Amino acid sequence: MRHDFPIRVYYEDTDLAGIVYYANYLKFIERGRSEWVRDLGVDQVALKRDQGLVFAVRRVEADYLKPAKFDDALTVSTELVAETGARFIVEQGVWRGTEKLFAATVTIVCLTEAGAAARLPAEMRRKLAPPLH
């Protein structure tokens, strides 16, 4: 199921030409993923405090398709495409209306606070599982 998160382009997000600086798309999709996880009901602060687990980006494959500009109203979409024992993969997009500006495939891993690989908590795997019909 697709999760959408609205975002506005501010002056600080742009370069001298008024176009979104390329690295800021990574910030936009990070915010989208964080809100997606929150909307799943996963409390990342509690997960770290109670189980010593955190999430980290392992890999990003990104395509810059069209520029976003100052004051654009954008939507960051996030959709789960795969989940294994210790990682999940999401497809993310940045949209201006129906026009896709940026696309990324992001692999997220679960780690202990010490940086060792860890299994995703069972509760999170249940929340990521597709609903049964």
Q: Of the listed 4, 15, 39, 72, which one is catalytic?
A: 15
Q: Does the annotation mark 15 as catalytic?
A: yes
Question: What sign results for the dihedral spanned by CA atoms 1, 34, 120, 88?
Answer: positive
21's tokens? 């600086």
Q: Which amino acid is at 56?
A: A
Short-list 42, 47, 45, 7, CA closest to 26: 7
Strands 53-64 and 73-83: unpaired
Q: Are 129 and 122 in contact (CB under 8 A)?
A: no
What amino acid positions are annotated as catalytic residues? 15
